[in-house]
Amino acid sequence: DRTTSNDGNLRKRKPLSIEEVILEPIQGETIQTNEDCRLRVKYAATKTFENVSWGFSIWTHDNLLNISGNYYLTPQTIRKGVGELSCLIPEMPLSPGTYLLKIAIGELATLQPIALTGVEDAPLEFKVGIEPNLLNNLLILNRQLMRINVRWL
């Protein structure tokens, strides 16, 4: 089951609008701790934008703590029309729970936002599940937000 947000009707008048955000598992039905997932950001642009970067941040469900995220700082060109930005999140590190996702597309040189979602409007809410076992139960009992991959020696 993928998680989507489609709020494009509220932002049609802007030069660049984020039309839909999709966070989906690569395999299986739900996003799971330690499993790969894909983030897709569908946009509509009324003009071409050069030297653009984009990224995301993941927040606790109460919207108080920015847990993590990432930004693609290689200059991108967004052409006039509709398109999609995407990335792979390998081995989702979040512990099971409900989280919020915010997206930013901005001008790389100035870091000024061109399009945002989850800041002026509601962020995308998504859930992370986990397979029950002893280690995963410890994560939940200890209220850990993330699971760090470790190579025990």
User: Does the pLDDT of residue 130 top 80, yes or no?
Assistant: yes
SS3 letters for 112-131? CEEEEECCCCCCEEEEEECC
Say how far apart CA 100 and CA 66 lie, in whole Å.
9
Q: 30-34, 49-53, 66-70, 129-133 — which is least confidently predicted?
A: 129-133
* Edge-to-edge strands, sheet with 3-6: 3-6, 16-25, 37-45, 81-89
Give the chain's mean pLDDT: 90
56: tokens are 């995301």
The pLDDT of residue 12 is: 52
User: Does the pLDDT of residue 147 top 90, yes or no?
Assistant: no
Say how far apart CA 34 and CA 18 lie, in whole Å.
28
Say what the pTM is.
Answer: 0.86
**Which whole number is the average pLDDT over 103-108?**
96
